[in-house]
Amino acid sequence: MKVREQKTRTCIRRLFLSLSCAYLALLVFAAAAAPLIAPYSPVRQFLESPLLPPLSEGHILGTDDLGRDILSRLVYGSRLLLLCGASVIPALGAGVILGVTAGLGACRTSDECEPKTALRFSGRPENALPGTRRLEPRGPLRQWPRFKCNRLLGKRLTDGLLRLVLDGILSFPAVLLVIVIVSLSGYGLPRLIIATAIVFTPVFARIVRAETQVLMTEGFVEYSRALGTGRTKILFRHILPNMIPGLAVRAVSFFPAAIVIDTSLSFLGLGVQPPEPGWGLILKDAWNYFFEAPHIACFSGAALAAALFSLNFISDALAEKLSRHI
């Protein structure tokens, strides 16, 4: 019975995964070929036929209060939806840069402050042989331990400042911080994407910093360092390739969060501005005519819920497959 139940669950999960991938592929295709799929322009108004029900002549999903075709607005709105979710990509890039910088600075130990160069050139007077004199470092070598300690303190200071800034950003609620940034910089899709990227950058930076510290203590990294491999080559050869699978899963898991934030702000009037066919704006307009034309909220809400469910299910499947190979 347990084997049969496990097989049934596996089949159901594969079915949902296939449906999620198919719906996500449909969204990408609709965004790429919107002018070929949509029957009308998303801003074209049929003022003589507002709030038409579904399956009306010439309007499969009906029209809104200004007579705009719902299907056309949903198709063109998929572009804005994917762009809002893609705000995770610049956040990931900035997070990797900041996280690696902080992680490498935190990996520096106090052993590097030891004046190894000075011990190489000087010895104890009681152990000196008769007729020899004590050798002292000359020129820049005399200051080498001090330079090395200053370099170490600089890296630790960089790590401390980055952690302070990142923790400060993370201390604010994500939606509230996006609202503040958008209110100060202005409304519109580009500013909304930048604000969302700023909010998610500290999350990726903290993850990358922790992963860098863990990987720098692994045996293969220590072996490479023992062979004299530079930190830059270690970074691109060992650290970043081992981070890519986990970061890819986390980036996909943050796509729905970015979409929810951007859609919520568009619903509040702080994101995508009219007459752009954002799905948040469609839901906002549908709220005013929910009892007269509930199909507007139903179709747009179902499309948004299916997109979020598909992205969450795909990220869970990727995380499960990754955990099996670790």
Report d(CA 305, CA 202) in Å as an integer.
27
Report d(CA 137, CA 153) in Å as an integer.
23
Residue 12 lies in a domain: no
Residue 188 lies in a domain: yes
Span 265-289, mean pLDDT?
A: 90
Q: How many residues does the chain have?
A: 326
Residue 232 lies in a domain: yes
**Phi, psi of 95, rounded to the nearest 5 degrees:** -65, -35
CB 53 within 8 A of CB 295: yes
pLDDT score of 259 = 94
Higher-scoring residue by pLDDT: 35, 5: 35
| Mean pLDDT of the chain, nearest integer | 82
Residue 27 vs residues 213, 243, 253, 299: alpha-carbon distances, Å? 38, 28, 17, 15
Report d(CA 125, CA 135) in Å as an integer.
10
Structural domain including 48 reads 23-325
Q: What is the pLDDT of residues 203-248, one digit of tens each?
A: 999 999 889 888 888 888 888 888 888 888 888 888 888 888 889 8
**Phi, psi of 129, rounded to the nearest 5 degrees:** -75, 155
Residue 194 lies in a domain: yes
Q: What is the pLDDT of residues 108-151, one digit of tens each?
A: 543 333 333 333 334 444 444 444 444 444 444 444 444 444 45
Tell me which of 13-27, 89-103, 137-151 is least confident: 137-151
Instruction: Provide the domain count of the chain.
Output: 1
* CATH code (residue 276): 1.10.3720.10
pLDDT score of 156 = 65
